[in-house]
Amino acid sequence: MSLAATTEREHQARNSRTKSYNRPSQQSCHRPRDSLFSWSSGFDNFTGFINWGFLLLGIGGVRLLLENFIKYGIRVNPREWFFFLSGKNDGGEESPSILLICYSMVPVMLCLLIEKGLALNIIAHNPGIIFHVVNIIVMVLMPMVVIHVKDSGFSLIGAVYVCMLYAILFFKLWSYVQVNMWCRKSDKKTSISQGRMRRQSFSYSSFKSSAEHNELEFDDLPSHDDDDDKLTKSLVQYPNNLHIRDLVYFIFAPTLCYELNFPRTERIRKRFLMKRIFEVFVGCQVIMSLCQQWMIPSVKNSLIPFTNMDVAKASERLLKLAIPNHLMWLCFFYLFFHSYLNLMGELLYFADRNFYSDWWNANNIDTFWRTWNMAVHRWAVRHWQHSRATISIVVYIIREIHGW
């Protein structure tokens, strides 16, 4: 057999083996692999389940909405809301809440007068602190006493707004008094140190040699005294801050911590302002609709199980109330902490808009309470100078009392 024939036969055999390997029946489709849900697989991309969860929540929410409409009909009525919130449905014609709102400026002005007396040394330190404490205590007790005495004259919205207003004024006046007290102590320390410097005696020779040394050393360096003087003059210094305009600005500013010089924006963003106004208007309607359409019927239907002490039905009603209550809480958070506070900050040129942090990423209760309401947390850290655990407990109690 010739060499050419042998080579051709080997080439044909090789081609036949290649063709048999490329056939679908001969191709390998398996290899060692773990299931995706196994820990050893190393797979960690489950974001699709989050979308799936939102889809299920949406379907469940639509079903509950249809069930509510079929069972109760459309109960949203802005006219009934007006009569209910104004108190006219109970026949009340008095408006003690308006009087309490007007009276709220009285302790504010008294606080300013006491601070001016302390700054001018007309009032001593200890009596001034006593006056402040009495003023703040009377301010806090005033709405409680009046609401208890004139219970029938208060509407729901009036009582809620008055309590919220006086609670906010308590935090603000505490901060105002304490910051001004810090400024007075700082001024006294500065004046004492300056008096000691004046009483020191220097010989003419030592003074002359030190002056010549400083002149030779710093003669060629650029001077920044003029820039520092301009910056210092542009900032408000104590006691020039003790003015009614400064205090009224702080009362309306979206913060609980007082400063002599707040960070300011350069202009009002009209588009941003219109968005926040629209959100406040729509948010109020959404909260009132959820309450009227969902919360009130559920609360009425929960009275009988709680009266009969039926644990199973009462638990079912509590879980049913948890959904609209949670939705209203989320809507109120966005309405107040984002829309309303940003609206006030934009109107007042207030630049610090850190009203909340990422509480939705909190991995424990302590982080949650420190991040969802930054104003109260910042006030407690600044003005309640104790350990972190004590501050957390105080912040929790204050927020619970404020929410109640």
Q: Which residue has the higher pLDDT, 387 or 151?
A: 151
Could you say which DSSP state residue 264 is in?
B
- State mean pLDDT over 187-211: 55
Q: What pLDDT, on a 0 to 100 scale, did the predictor assign at position 94?
A: 60
pLDDT digits (tens, 9 = 90+) for 210-253: 444 444 343 444 444 555 555 555 788 888 999 999 999 999 99
Question: Which residues lie closer than 8 Å to 316 by C-beta, 6 or more apart?
Answer: 305
Question: Which residues lie closer than 8 Å to 258 by C-beta, 6 or more apart?
Answer: 172, 175, 176, 179, 250
CA distance 317 to 305: 8
- State mean pLDDT over 291-307: 81
pLDDT band at 294 (very low <50, low <70, confident <90, very high): confident
Q: What pLDDT, on a 0 to 100 scale, did the predictor assign at position 251?
A: 95
Return the closest-CA partner of residue 70 out of 62, 78, 79.
62
pLDDT digits (tens, 9 = 90+) for 81-122: 666 665 555 545 567 788 888 899 999 999 999 999 999 989
Q: What is the mean pLDDT of the chain?
A: 78
Q: What pLDDT, on a 0 to 100 scale, did the predictor assign at position 16?
A: 56
Which pair of structure tokens corresponds to residue 154?
A: 């208060």
- Residue 119 φ then ψ, to 5°: -70, -35
CA distance 133 to 141: 12
Q: Is the confidence at residue 293, as pLDDT, over 50?
A: yes
Q: Is the confidence at residue 202, as pLDDT, over 50?
A: no
CA distance 208 to 192: 26
Q: What pLDDT, on a 0 to 100 scale, did the predictor assign at position 333?
A: 92
Report in angstroms the alpha-carbon separations of 347 from 117, 258, 382.
32, 18, 26
Which pair of structure tokens corresponds to residue 367?
A: 């982080």
Q: What pLDDT, on a 0 to 100 scale, did the predictor assign at position 391?
A: 56
CA distance 176 to 390: 22
Q: Measured in whole angstroms, how far is the alpha carbon of residue 3 from the centre of its chain? A: 92
The rounded radius of gyration (Å) of the Cα atoms in the chain is 35
Q: What pLDDT, on a 0 to 100 scale, did the predictor assign at position 204?
A: 39
Which pair of structure tokens corresponds to residue 343?
A: 């609206």
In the chain, % of residues over pLDDT 70: 74
Which pair of structure tokens corresponds to residue 182?
A: 């810090």
Q: What pLDDT, on a 0 to 100 scale, did the predictor assign at position 236?
A: 86
Kindly write down the DSSP assignment for every residue of 54-112, as one continuous string: HHHHHHHHHHHHHHHHHHH-----HHHHHHHHHTGGGT----HHHHHHHHTHHHHHHHH
pLDDT band at 343 (very low <50, low <70, confident <90, very high): very high
Return the closest-CA partner of residue 388 out of 355, 404, 366, 360.
366
- State mean pLDDT over 166-195: 87
Which pair of structure tokens corresponds to residue 277?
A: 């106004």
Burial code (b: 16+ CB inside 10 Å, e: under 16) for 292-309 equals: bbbbeebeeebeebeeee
Q: Which residue has the higher pLDDT, 140 or 188?
A: 140
Which pair of structure tokens corresponds to residue 9?
A: 């036969």
SS3 350: strand
Q: Lowest mean pLDDT: which of 43-57, 157-171, 229-243, 345-359?
A: 229-243
- State mean pLDDT over 196-201: 51
396-397-400 Cα angle (round to 5): 85
Largest CA distance in the chain: 130
Q: What pLDDT, on a 0 to 100 scale, did the predictor assign at position 351?
A: 93
The phi-psi region of residue 22 (left if phi > 0; otherwise alpha if psi is between -120 and 50; otherwise beta) is alpha
Q: Lowest mean pLDDT: which of 61-75, 206-220, 352-366?
A: 206-220
Asked if residue 254 has a cis previous peptide bond (ω within 30° of 0), the answer is: no
Q: Measured in whole angstroms, how far is the alpha carbon of residue 188 from the centre of its chain? A: 36
